[in-house]
Structure 1
């Protein structure tokens, strides 16, 4: 009888150190350190062998394989983050009422969206830097999930309801994503 098995090897790039404690993977590079817990994947074993991260499992179904390949991609994103980092660009768009955007502590405050008097607040995830440059908002960090979540928080909080989007296009929108080089 042949054993159905899964084995994936991820080469660790130079300049990056990796520690594996159970199913927690810690990656350290020139930009910083990231840690991620993969304990939800009970069917996988994660180990370190001569400069490679090895993921192994037996009798994996379609969902387990999909989860395993997602974990591979998460680890590769961690490598990219600690080496280079991620940057998202958002554009402030308004037609009549000028939108004011300020970064205060760990939140982005948006005022005067379509003439509203209340302040809309978007949360900034820890480890993410947000800067406002004229009509652009730049979101930077080493953790892709936190950077993208912060950008999504900003975009979602400016969503206008009960108006025709073709006419009232006011808001803040993601228009560019990149790896910092």
Structure 2
């Protein structure tokens, strides 16, 4: 049985033989400049409130007020610090990790959306489409109810939040609210009422569909 050179070099019986002794090659050590360590910067973002707006910061809650309305929201006081100096708002993170940096940017976007919603409420438009069976929609109090979806015997319903105004005009639905999250979640719930399972959506096109998000047509 033949033995390979690698086996002979590593074997105990051939290590003293010069023919199979491994040759060691040394490389010249090159000086490698170490990478600079990035500075640990605390994330800070600043925002100037528009005229007519005021802001009140409490323990872990802040409120933005205007003559046309007000909105409140909780924030993680363990990770963020809100400092208000006149109309200048400073959002400062309490550490330098990437999670806190993301929170600073997220709450800056939340505050901008709250200001936009108070100035001009967000409007979502939906449409009820009936192809196979005519559907009937009713809205009373805070309950939206849909009847005869695909000929079903059971009515489908969902609750509308108190801060969302719903206007029902025939097959057109309009949602109005200064809170973009509430109006978006309500539109999604209405659309999910008519979710179709185990059917070809190209054939069964009955349902409620979002057609407009603000000025954007879908």
TM-score (norm 2): 0.77
* Alpha-carbon separation, structure 2, partners of 1:107 and 1:149: 15
RMSD: 1.7
Cα drift, residue 58 of structure 1: 4.5
Unaligned runs of 5+ in 1: none
Q: Which residue of 1 aligns with 2:181?
A: 145
Cα drift, residue 31 of structure 1: 2.9
**Helix, strand or coil at the partner of 1:69:** helix
Unaligned runs of 5+ in 2: 1-37
* Alpha-carbon separation, structure 1, partners of 2:96 and 2:203: 50
* Alpha-carbon separation, structure 2, partners of 1:140 and 1:103: 15
Q: Which residue of 1 aligns with 2:51?
A: 14
Q: Which has the larger radius of gyration?
A: 2
- Structure 1 residues 48-101: Cα deviation after superposition (integer angstroms, max 9, x where no partner): 012111111254222221121111101111111111111100011110211111
* Alpha-carbon separation, structure 1, partners of 2:88 and 2:211: 35
Q: Which residue of 2 aligns with 1:107?
A: 143
Q: Which residue of 2 aligns with 1:98?
A: 134
TM-score (norm 1): 0.91
Q: Looking at both structures, which has the greater relative contact order when contacts are Cα pairs under 8 Å and sequence separation is at least 6?
A: 1
The structure in which a higher percent of residues are strand is: 1
Do structure 1's residue 136 and structure 2's residue 172 form an aligned pair? yes
1:17-96 matches, cutoff 5 A: 17-39=54-76, 42-96=78-132
Query: Retained in 2: the 8 A contact 1:91–1:172?
Result: yes
